[in-house]
Structure 1
Amino acid sequence: MRIMIIGGTRGIGLALAEHYSKQGATLALCGRDPARLAGHPLANDPHVTLHAVEITDRASAERAMDSFGPLDLLIVTAGAYTDAAAIAADKEATLPVLHTNVVGLCHAFDAASARMRRQGHGQLVVLASIAGLLKDYPGASLYSASKRAALAICDTYRKALAPFGIAVTAIVPGYVDTARLRELNDGDAGRKPFLQTEAQAVRHIVGAIARREARYVFPWQLHVLVRLFNLLPRPLQAFRKK
C-alpha cells in the first residue's frame, strides 16, 4: 500500500507512520519541517520519503503527490489550535486555525482525490476531533467550529467521491496523550478525561481505516458525555470551561 501522511513528522501522524511501516507500506511523510525526523529510523528507510509540505499551500501538497506517484491512502493529521486568550491578544491568531483545519484540508483532499479518480480507487482520511461533535453554543471555540467544518467537508467529499469508489473516513478522537497535548497543558495531560495513549489511538485509527468507516469516534465514554452536553439548555452550556 502507498500511503501519504500530511502531518506525519510528529505526534499521531508519526505513530501511524511507524505502524504502517511495520506492515510493509510505502510511505510519504509530509510536514513543515521534515528535518525533525533526523536520526529517526524512518528517515533512513528506503520505503519512506520525506516531503516539506505546508498544507495551506496547495501547490506544495501537489508537488509532494507528484513526486510520490500512485496514492492508495491519504491521511491528514496536520492541525492548528488556538484558544480564546490568544485570540484576545491577537486577532490574527484565528487565521492559522482557519487556513490549516479547513482550507488546508480541502486543498489536500482535492489534490489527492484528483489522482485517486484517475486510478479508480483510494481513501481519504482526516484526524478531526471530538470537539467537532459539540454543537455551537455560547462561547464555543473557533477550534470546535473548525473541526465541525472538517466533519462537514468529509461528508461532502464522501458523497461526491462515492461514484468513483473512493472512501472518505473521518477519525474523531478524544484526548490522546501526545507531546502537543502535554505542551498545551503545562506538560501534563493526565487530568484529561478518558485519556488515550498514542498506541491505543493508533489501534483505533488503523482499524477504522481498514474497515473504511465513514466516521469513527473514540473513546465511547467521551462520546456519550458530548452527546449529553449537546442536550443541555444553551444557558447551561455557556458555563462550560474551555
Structure 2
Amino acid sequence: MKVMIIGGTSGIGLGLAQHYWMQGARVAICGRRPEKLDGVAFARDSRVSIHVCDISDRAAVARTVAEVVALPDAAHDGQLDLLIVTAGQYTDAAAIARDRSSVLPVLRVNVGGLDNAFAAASDAMMERGQGHLVAVASIAGLQDDYPNGSLYSASKRAAIAICGAYRKALAPFGIAVTVIVPGYVDTARLRELNHGDASHKPFLLSEQEAVQRIAAAIARRDERCVFPWQLHALVRLFNLLPAFLKRARKK
C-alpha cells in the first residue's frame, strides 16, 4: 500500500504517517518544511520518503504526486492507493484586520490547495480504477454562514463541499472520498494559537485519539466522519440561534 500525506510533517498528518508506516505501508510525507522531520526516527526508514511541496502551488503538487506514484512499492509500482490532505491555514479576525491580504493564504491552502491535491491524485488513481482521497477539514466547517462569521469556517465549509463534489464525480471510477471533520485536537499548532495551552478547549482530544479515529474512518471508507459528538451537537445548536446572537460569538 502506498500512502501520500500532504501536511505530514507535524501534528495529525505526522501521526497518520507513523500509523501507516507501522502498518507496513510505503509512506510519502509532503510539506513545506521537511526539516521538521529531522528528529523523527521512523522518517529515516526506507519505506518513508520526504517531499518538499507547497499545496497552494498546483504545478508543484502535480509534480510531487507523479514522484510518489513512481516510487517502488512492495505490491506494485506506478500506483497511489491513499492520499490524505491534512495541510491547513488559519488566520483569525484580528490578523485580517491588521492585514487584509492575510486572507489569501487561507483560501489558497484550505480551498485551492485541496483541489490541487485531489485533482492530481485522482488523475493517477483513475488510470487504475481504484484509490481513496481523504481530507481533514474542521468542525468549524459545519457552522452555517452568518454575519461576521470567520473566514476559516467558510474555507472549511468549502473544503467539505469539495470533498462532496469529488465523491460524486469519482464514484463511477471506484475512487472513494472521505472528509474528516474533527473538533479540537491537542496539537502543537493549537497550543501555539492559544498561548501554549489548549486545555480550555471544549472536548479536547489527544493527537493519538484523533489519529485512531481518522484511521478507523478511512479503513471503513466512510464518506464523512465527525467527532467528537458532543461538539457536533453544540454546533447544531449554534446553527439554530438567531443571527444577532451568532454575531456575539467571539472568533
For normalisation by structure 2, the TM-score amounts to: 0.95
Correspondence for 2:128 among 119, 125, 132 = 119
- Give deviations 1:180-239, integer Å, cap 9, x for gaps: 000000000000000000011011100100111111100000000000100111111111
Hey, what does 1:3 align to over in structure 2?
A: 3
Query: For residues 130 and 167 of structure 1, what CA distance do their matches in structure 2 show?
Result: 21
- Give deviations 1:59-116, integer Å, cap 9, x for gaps: 2112222111210000000000001100010001000000000001000000000000
Hey, what does 1:157 align to over in structure 2?
A: 166
Query: For residues 134 and 68 of structure 1, what CA distance do their matches in structure 2 show?
Result: 35
Helix, strand or coil: the match of 2:127?
Answer: helix
5+ residue gaps, structure 1, are: none
Helix, strand or coil: the match of 1:119?
Answer: coil
Whether 2:206 is the aligned partner of 1:190: answer no
The within-5 A match list for 1:144-223 is: 144-223=153-232
Give structure 1 regions of 4+ aligned residues with deviation exceeding 3 angstroms.
Answer: none
Query: For residues 193 and 129 of structure 2, what CA distance do their matches in structure 1 show?
Result: 41
Shift of 1:10: 0.5
* Alignment coverage as a number of residue pairs: 242
Whether 2:46 is the aligned partner of 1:46: answer yes
Hey, what does 2:56 align to over in structure 1?
A: 56
Hey, what does 2:35 align to over in structure 1?
A: 35
Identity of aligned residues (%): 65
Hey, what does 2:18 align to over in structure 1?
A: 18
Shift of 1:6: 0.1
The farther-off stretch of 31-40 and 217-226 is 31-40
For normalisation by structure 1, the TM-score amounts to: 0.99
Correspondence for 2:89 among 67, 80, 83 = 80
5+ residue gaps, structure 2, are: 70-78
- Give deviations 1:40-66, integer Å, cap 9, x for gaps: 112311000000000011121122221
Hey, what does 1:232 align to over in structure 2?
A: 241
Query: For residues 138 and 56 of structure 1, what CA distance do their matches in structure 2 show?
Result: 28
Q: CA RMSD in A?
A: 0.7
The 8 Å contact of residues 178 and 198 in structure 1, kept in 2 or not, is answered as yes
The 8 Å contact of residues 138 and 238 in structure 1, kept in 2 or not, is answered as yes
Hey, what does 2:100 align to over in structure 1?
A: 91
